[in-house]
Chains A and B, each alone.
Chain A
C-alpha cells in the first residue's frame, strides 16, 4: 500500500494537531484508529505481530485492528475502554496527538480529559444505527469544551453496500447537530474502517463521494484552535500566568510562564492581576536568547520595568485587553464525584497557576445534553453538566471560556481527598468557542 508518508520528515518543522476520537461503543472507533495508524505505517512489526497473536488467541478471524488501541488489562477483560489512550501519528507535514476517548457515560471525566486540549473531534458513527445518544453526548461535551471542528466518519459503509442514501441520512443528522452545537467546520466521510476505504487510502467504493479521506481532512484542519490559538495568534491580548520567579545573577527577577491568548511583545504595557499594577515588558527571555515577540504556546520569562512584588499565581496581561478580576462568577461544570455537588460546598479551585478556596454559592441548573437546554436543578450528580455560582477566597483574573480555554478554565479539588472533582468553564454553557473576541464575564445576579 502506498503510505502517504510516515516519519520521513526528519528535520522537524511539522505542525501539531491534537484531536479527540469519540463515538459510541461498537461503532468502530478502535478499528478506525487502528486503521489510521496501520495505513500511515505508524505501527511497528512487533506491535502488528502482537495484535495478530492476540487476535488469533482470542479466536478472531482476521487481524482485529481494534486490539492495537486496547490498553489496560481491566479494559481487555471487560471489552470496553475506560480511559483515554494517547496515540501518535505523523505525516511529513504534521504530527498528530490522538486522544482516544472512552465511550461509557461513567467515564465522562476521561472523555473530558481527552477533549479539553483538542483542536478537533473525530466522531465515529455506525451508518447502520445512525447517531446514537452516546455519540450526541460526546459531540455535545466536545463542543462545550470548545472543539469547533468535527470530522465525522460514517463507518461500516460496507455493511450497507456503500448505499449513498445511508450516507446522506447521516449527513443530515450531523448537519443538524453541528448547527445546534455551533460547530463551525465539519466533514462527513463515508468509510469502512474494517477494509480501509477513505481512511487513508482513497477508494472506488463510493463514486458519488468526492470529498477528502479522513487523513486528508485531518491534515487540512487548522491547528492550534485549543488554548485560543496554540502555535497561532488569534490577535487577542496576551496573558501570562506566572508560574515561577527566576532570580537573575546580578539581582533582578524574571517571571516565567507560558504565553497564551495572543502574542506578547517586548516594550508592551502589561497589567499585573489581580493587583492591577501597570508596568512595561522590558525583555522576554528564553534559555536560547531574548525574543522580541513571544508567540502563543511558548514558555518564556518576562522582565518588567518596575520592581513589583509579583509572584506565582499572578497573571500578566496586555494592558489594552485585560481579563476581568472577579471573586464571584457563573460557571459551567462537569461534576466527577460520587457524592452530589450542592450549594454551600467548600472546594479548592485551581485556575491557571493559582489555587484558592471557594464556596459554591448556588447550583442553578443542569444541562440536558439531548435537548441542549439548561433546566433548573439544585444539585449535580456524577457525570452531570451544570451551572453554578462560585465565590472564591481570593480574586481570579478570568476570561469567559468561549474566548480563552486557559484563563477561562479551572478544576475543583476536594479539600479532604485532593481528588479532582470537577472541570469548570467560566460562563454559561456555550457551544463551540473561538470567536476570538472577548466578551464580558457573567456575574451572578
Chain B
C-alpha cells in the first residue's frame, strides 16, 4: 500500500536555496537561542536514529517538516539519512506542496515513502467520508498501517509544543503502545538529555526534535538558513470561500456552496494540511522577513486561525493524539 522511490545518497554540497530573504549568519562566537535549538534537535535526531532499529521521518511538506528535514541533513551529512522519509498523503493536498515534496526529496537523493489515505479508503480500512470532507482524522489509520507494514519503531515528527495544550505536555520522545495510542497519564519520565525510546515489538515512539521551537523560532530559522518552502506560505492571489470563519481555497474538493461566493483575495497559509480544512489568512507577506514581522504581530494562534479540525472541542487534539495521530 505504500509506494517507494529509491535513489542514491546525497552529496555533501547540496544546500537548499533561499526562498526569499538571504540567510543571516549568526554572530560568530555567540550561542543564541536558534543555535541551541538547532543543536538540540540535531542531538535528538542522532540519538533516536542510533537507538531505533527502523526509524522514519514523517514529512508533510509544511514548514515544520521542511525545517526538520533540513536539520536531519545537518545531523547526518556527509552520510545519507539513516531513515526514509514518509508522507501520509490525504489525496487532498495543495499541488504546490506535492511539487515541493518531490523536488526536495529528489534533490537530496533520499528515499520517499508515500502512504496514501485514498488507498486506505479504497481498501475499506476507513469509510469514505465523501469528496469534500476533511481526511485529517483518517490519516491516523493510514499512518498506523504504514508503521506496522514497515515495522517502524521510531517516527520523527515536526510537532511543536506551542501548537496546542495537549502537545504542550508531550515528551520529546513519546511512547505509543501496540495500538499506536498515546497515554498522557503514563508518559515516561524524561530527564536531562536521556531520551529513552526502547520499545517492544509492535510499539513505537514518536520523536519531536522541534518540541521547544515556537512558530516564530521556525520562521527566524528559515530566514537564517535560507530554507525553501512551498509557495503557498507566501502571499498570493487565489479564489477563496469563507466557511465557518475560515478562508478555504477553492480547489477540486472545495467549491462555493449555497449562499457562499468565491472571491479572489491575497492570502497565504500558515500551515499546510488537508485542503478541505486548512484555512488561509489574509496577508501581503511575500518574503520570510515580512512573514516574521507578521507572525510577531499576529494575535491569532496558528491552529486557531487555520485548522478547522481543532475547533470542535477543547480537547480535539488530545483526543486525536490518543488515537495515534501525529
Chain A residues with a Cβ under 8 A of chain B:
6-8, 10-16, 44-47, 50, 54, 70-74, 76, 82-88, 90, 95, 97, 109-110, 112-113, 116-117, 227, 230-231, 243-244, 246-249, 256-258, 286-288, 295, 297-299, 312, 336, 350-351, 353, 405-406, 409-411, 413, 418-420, 423
Contact = CB atoms under 8 A, between A and B. Distances in A.
15 contacts: A10-B216, A12-B24, A44-B300, A50-B304, A86-B169, A95-B217, A109-B189, A110-B189, A244-B46, A244-B49, A249-B12, A258-B42, A295-B29, A409-B192, A411-B189
A10 B293 contact: yes
Closest 5 CB pairs of A and B: A46-B304, A116-B191, A44-B301, A287-B74, A299-B42
Contact of B165 (A85, A297, A406, A413): A85
A113 B192 CA distance: 8
Contacts of B319: 73
Contacts of B194: 350-351, 409-411
A414 B128 CA distance: 43
Interface in B220-248: 220-221, 224
Contacts of A247: 78-79
A162 to B, nearest CB: 33
Nearest to B164: A71
A74 B165 CA distance: 13
Interface stretch (B31-39, B100-108, B117-125, B256-264): B31-39
Interface string B21-56: 000101101111111111110110011011000000
B50 A7 contact: no
A7 B299 CA distance: 11
A397 B249 CA distance: 57
A251 to B, nearest CB: 12
B20 interface: no
Interface of B: 12, 24, 26-27, 29-40, 42-43, 46-47, 49-50, 73-79, 161-162, 165-166, 168-169, 171, 184-185, 187-194, 196, 198-200, 211-212, 214, 216-217, 220-221, 224, 289, 292-293, 295-296, 298-301, 304-305, 314-315, 318-319
B184 A406 contact: no
B33 A88 contact: no
Given A10-B220, A258-B193, 8 more contacts: A12-B220, A46-B300, A47-B301, A87-B168, A110-B189, A117-B193, A246-B76, A299-B75
Contacts of A297: 31, 36, 39
Contacts of B12: 249
Contacts of A419: 188
A9 to B, nearest CB: 8
Contacts of A109: 189
A231 B305 contact: no
A420 B196 contact: yes
B285 to A, nearest CB: 12
Contact of B193 (A70, A73, A110, A406): A406
B75 A7 contact: no
B169 A71 contact: yes
